[in-house]
């Protein structure tokens, strides 16, 4: 969906401000004797993959050659008894290998207050459970997504990541760790980004969920909010943190109540079919239809966020999730795995 001219001017102004901001940071860093933050080359793409009605397979086949790592949501960790459940999709494996991308499946868990990750023996068993399928199936790495971490478990979680990394490195594999959004001014403080970055091979930093299904309606990711995540990440490590953009949104009942996740593709289709008028709200596209309030990340927002990460020198970009993003997104960004143009025939 095209933005009105006024919104194009907002984005253009934001991009100019971003350039000026990068220049200012470079001057300040040089004055302090630190390495300046400089715009980087096209980023490597880390793409989460969940069920998206088959679109995830179509997009993997079409755009897999642009992606460095595919991370399908295949495994669930029971932290209490240190066991793993789940398994691979042969179709996803075949498409990922055909695209030349690496495969780092996701291990999902939610941490209960009673889960004993403070015990070194428990951490060792979790690390062994995660490393086992990586070795058995020849994965290139694994991705750890443990959410709802209590603030008092920060050190224990960092130690767990260190144990999992060591177990995977011993097998020649790597580890990515997903963490909730964080900026210099707020976010989830339970996850120690600098410490985790020094242990894991890649940190996936959420750039979304400024509003969620349990909140009042509002933008999933504002441009200013995403810039805050990128600035925080760039100040820690430009090469080992991947700011994550979200190709989705939420639909809330206009009368109040919890929302439900909707993909960017489905939200745009719904808006067009309903004839509802859409507008930009700080970065998200929003519209009202059928008694629902919808906010979602459209093509222009996703592209602007991808470019913001590159302009701040970030070498990775994460996408949640493949198959939910508008196809036009891929035509407006460059990635580290950019296919060569087709040869011209005279």
Question: Which CATH number covers residue 61?
Answer: 3.20.20.80
- Report pLDDT for 40: 76
Q: What is the mean pLDDT of residues 66-71?
A: 98
With b meaning 16 or more CB within 10 Å and e meaning fewer, what string describes 146-166? beebeeebbebbbbbbbbbbe
pLDDT at 114: 78
**Mind listing the pLDDT tens digit for each residue in 219-249?**
999 999 999 999 999 999 999 999 999 999 9
| 236 domain residue, yes or no | yes
Q: What percent of the chain is predicted at pLDDT more than 90?
A: 82
Residue 286 lies in a domain: no
pLDDT confidence of residue 341:
61
Residues 92-135 have pLDDT tens digits of 999 999 999 999 999 999 988 877 999 999 999 999 999 999 99
**What local confidence, expressed as pLDDT, does residue 56 receive?**
98
Place of tokens 């997504």: 145
Mean pLDDT of 61-79: 97
The whole-angstrom separation of Cα 282 and Cα 222 is: 5
Residue 338, domain member (yes or no): no
Q: What is the pLDDT of residue 30?
A: 37
Pairing of strands 284-289, 292-296: antiparallel
Residue 345 has pLDDT above 80, yes or no: no
Identify whether 288 is part of a domain. Answer: no
pLDDT of residue 283: 84
Taking the alpha carbons at both ends of the chain, their separation in whole angstroms is 37
Task: Tell me if 260 is assigned to some domain.
Answer: no
The parent domain of residue 311 ranges over: 38-246+298-331
Query: What pLDDT does 37 receive?
Result: 53
Q: How far apart are CA 226 and CA 183, in angstroms?
A: 9
pLDDT per residue as tens digits for the range 12-37: 343 334 433 433 333 333 333 444 55
Looking at residue 340, its pLDDT comes to 61
Residue 164: which of 117, 130, 136 has the closest Cα? 130
Whether residue 11 lies inside any domain: the answer is no
pLDDT of residue 3: 29
For 271-306, write each residue's pLDDT tens digit. Answer: 999 999 999 988 899 999 999 999 999 999 999 999
Quote the radius of gyration of the chain (alpha carbons, Å).
20
Whether residue 2 lies inside any domain: the answer is no
Question: Which stretches of the chain are assigned E, i.e. beta strand?
Answer: 44-49, 69-78, 83-86, 102-103, 106-110, 141-147, 174-179, 182-183, 186-187, 202-206, 241-246, 248-253, 260-263, 279-281, 284-289, 292-296, 316-320
pLDDT score at 49: 98
- Secondary structure (3-state) at 232: helix
Summarize the confidence of residues 199-220 as an average pLDDT.
97
In this predicted model, what pLDDT tens digit does every residue of 71-85 receive, in sequence order? 999 999 999 999 999
Number of domains in the chain: 1
pLDDT of the residue at 112: 82
Rounded distance between C-alpha atoms, residue 329 and residue 157, angstroms = 35
254-282 average pLDDT score: 96
* Pick from 287, 329, 328, 324: nearest CA to 305: 329
Tokens of 237: 């490590």
Q: What is the pLDDT of residue 23?
A: 38
CA distance 101 to 200: 20
Angle at Cα 51 formed by Cα 158 and Cα 144, nearest 5°?
Answer: 10
Predicted confidence (pLDDT) at residue 11 exceeds the cutoff of 90: no
Summary mean pLDDT of the chain: 89
Q: How far apart are CA 301 and CA 309, in angstroms?
A: 13
Q: What's the pLDDT score for residue 281?
A: 84
Residue 138 CB neighbour total at 10 angstroms: 12
- Say which residues have a Cβ less than 8 Å from residue 90's Cβ, sequence separation at least 6: none
d(CA 6, CA 127): 52
What integer pLDDT is reported at residue 282 of this predicted model?
Answer: 82
Judge contact between 100 and 172, C-beta under 8 A. no
Whether residue 310 contacts residue 42, with contact meaning beta carbons closer than 8 Å, is answered with yes
Peptide bond preceding 153 in cis form (omega within 30 of 0): no
Does 214 fall in a domain?
Answer: yes
CA 29 centroid distance within chain = 27
Q: Which has the closest alpha carbon to 323: 55, 98, 95?
A: 55
């Amino acid at each position: 969906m095209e933005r009105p001219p006024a919104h194009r001017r907002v984005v253009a102004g934001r991009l100019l401000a971003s350039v000026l901001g990068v220049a200012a940071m470079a001057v300040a860093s040089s004055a302090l004797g630190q390495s300046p933050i400089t715009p980087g080359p096209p980023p490597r793409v880390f793409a989460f993959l969940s069920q998206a009605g088959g679109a995830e397979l179509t997009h993997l086949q079409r755009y897999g050659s642009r992606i460095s790592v595919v991370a399908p949501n295949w495994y669930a960790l029971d932290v209490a008894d240190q066991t793993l459940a789940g398994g691979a999709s042969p179709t996803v494996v075949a498409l990922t290998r055909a695209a030349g991308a690496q495969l780092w499946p996701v291990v999902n868990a939610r941490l209960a207050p009673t889960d004993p990750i403070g015990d070194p023996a428990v951490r060792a068993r979790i690390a062994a459970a995660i490393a086992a399928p990586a070795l058995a199936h020849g994965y290139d790495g694994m991705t750890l997504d443990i959410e709802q971490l209590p603030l008092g478990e920060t050190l224990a979680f960092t130690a767990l990541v260190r144990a999992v990394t060591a177990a995977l490195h011993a097998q020649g594999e790597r580890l990515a760790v997903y963490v909730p959004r964080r900026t210099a001014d707020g976010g989830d403080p339970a996850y120690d980004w600098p410490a985790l970055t020094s242990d894991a091979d890649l940190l996936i930093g959420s750039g979304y969920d400024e509003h969620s299904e349990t909140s009042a309606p509002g933008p999933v990711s504002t441009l200013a909010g995403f810039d805050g995540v990128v600035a925080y990440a760039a100040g820690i490590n430009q090469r080992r943190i991947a700011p994550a953009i979200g190709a989705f949104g939420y639909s809330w009942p206009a009368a109040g109540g919890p929302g439900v996740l909707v993909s960017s593709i489905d939200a745009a289709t719904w808006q067009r079919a309903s004839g509802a008028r859409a507008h930009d709200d700080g970065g998200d596209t929003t519209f009202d239809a059928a008694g629902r309030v919808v906010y979602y990340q459209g093509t222009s927002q996703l592209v602007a966020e991808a470019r913001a990460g590159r302009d701040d020198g970030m070498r990775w970009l994460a996408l949640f999730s493949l198959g939910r993003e508008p196809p036009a997104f891929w035509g407006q960004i460059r990635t580290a795995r950019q296919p060569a143009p087709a040869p011209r025939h005279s």
